[in-house]
Amino acid sequence: MSESISVALFLAAIAVYSYKAGNHRFWFVLVITLLILFILLNATLLASNYFTGSGITDAVVYTLTNSLTGAGVSKYVVPALGLILGLGSLCYLLSWLLRRRDRPHHLGWSLLAVACAAGSVQTTPAFRQVSGLIAAHTQAADSDFEDYFKVPNKSIPQPKLNVVYIYGESLERTYFNQQAFPDLAPELSREKDQSLDFSETEQLPGTDYTIAGMVASQCGIPLFAPFNGNASAALSSFYPQNICLGDILKNSGYENWFIQGADLRFAGKDVFLRSHGFDPSHMYGSQELQSRVVDPNYRNNWGYYDDTVMDEVYEKFAELSRENKRFALFTLTVDTHHPDGFISRSCQRKSYSYDGKPNQSFSAVACSQEHVARLIERIKASPYFKNTVIVVGSDHLAMNNTAYPYLLKQPRRDLFMVIRGDRPEAKIIEGKRSTLDNGATLLDILGGDNFIGLGRSSLSSASLSSTFDDMTQKVTAWKADIIQLWNFPKKLDTFTLDQQKNTFSFSGSTFKMPILFRITDQHVEPLPEGEYAAPLRYQISDFAAGEKFVWVDRCYKVARLWQPDLALSTDLCMAVGQMGGKPSVTRVDQPIWKGKIHWPDSTLSVNQYEENVANARIKENDIRYPANSFIFAIPGAPASVKQFSGISRQENWGRWSNANLAPKVTIEYNDPLPANFELVITARAFGDNIGKPIPVQIGNQVQNLVLSEAFSTTTLRFNNPGTSHTLTITPPDPQFSDLDNIIGQAPRKLGIGMREIKIVPQE
How many domains does the chain divide into? 4
User: What number of residues does the chain have?
Assistant: 763
Closest CA to 514 of 562, 544, 549: 549
Q: Tell me, what's the pLDDT at 97?
A: 67
Mean pLDDT in residue range 716-725: 92
- Is residue 345 in some structural domain? yes
Task: Using pLDDT thresholds of 50, 70 and 90, give the confidence band for residue 230.
Answer: very low
- The answer to whether residues 171 and 300 belong to one domain is yes
Q: Tell me, what's the pLDDT at 311?
A: 96
C-alpha 459/C-alpha 440 separation (Å) is: 9
Closest CA to 683 of 637, 649, 729: 729
- The answer to whether residues 707 and 676 belong to one domain is yes
- The answer to whether residues 388 and 274 belong to one domain is yes
Residue 95 has pLDDT above 90, yes or no: no
Q: In CATH, what number is assigned to the domain containing residue 729? A: 2.60.120.430
Q: Is 118 left (phi over 0), alpha (psi -120 to 50) or beta?
A: alpha
- Is residue 180 in some structural domain? yes
- The answer to whether residues 546 and 611 belong to one domain is yes
Q: How many CB atoms lie within 10 A of CB 351?
A: 12
- Is residue 557 in some structural domain? yes
Q: Tell me, what's the pLDDT at 678?
A: 95
Q: How many CB atoms lie within 10 A of CB 315?
A: 12
Cβ pair 646, 703 in contact under 8 A: no
Domain containing residue 567? 494-618
Q: In CATH, what number is assigned to the domain containing residue 161? A: 3.40.720.10
Closest CA to 98 of 39, 7, 6, 11: 11
Residue 74 has pLDDT above 70, yes or no: no
- The answer to whether residues 178 and 270 belong to one domain is yes
Indicate the angle between helix axes 360-381 and 306-322, nearest 10 degrees.
Answer: 20
- Is residue 390 in some structural domain? yes
- Is residue 217 in some structural domain? no
C-alpha 682/C-alpha 368 separation (Å) is: 50
Residue 554 host element (H or E): strand 548-554
Residue 229 has pLDDT above 50, yes or no: no
Closest CA to 274 of 256, 261, 298: 256
- Is residue 263 in some structural domain? yes
C-alpha 475/C-alpha 397 separation (Å) is: 18
The string of pLDDT tens digits covering residues 417-432 is: 999 999 999 999 999 9
Closest CA to 386 of 475, 465, 321: 321
C-alpha 162/C-alpha 740 separation (Å) is: 39
Helix then strand then coil, in percent of the chain rounded to 5, is 35, 25, 40
- Is residue 109 in some structural domain? yes
Residue 233 has pLDDT above 50, yes or no: no
Strand pairing class (548-554; 515-519): antiparallel
The string of pLDDT tens digits covering residues 317-360 is: 999 999 999 999 999 999 999 888 999 999 999 999 998 899 99
- The answer to whether residues 321 and 292 belong to one domain is yes
- The answer to whether residues 323 and 384 belong to one domain is yes
3-state secondary structure of 592: strand
Indicate the angle between helix axes 438-445 and 210-219, nearest 10 degrees.
Answer: 40
Cβ pair 83, 432 in contact under 8 A: no
Cβ pair 337, 360 in contact under 8 A: no
Average pLDDT, the chain: 88
Task: Using pLDDT thresholds of 50, 70 and 90, give the confidence band for residue 56.
Answer: low
Percentage with pLDDT > 90 across the chain: 65
- The answer to whether residues 134 and 149 belong to one domain is no
- Is residue 48 in some structural domain? yes
Residue 72 has pLDDT above 70, yes or no: no
- The answer to whether residues 519 and 594 belong to one domain is yes
Closest CA to 752 of 669, 664, 644, 678: 664
Residue 226 has pLDDT above 80, yes or no: no
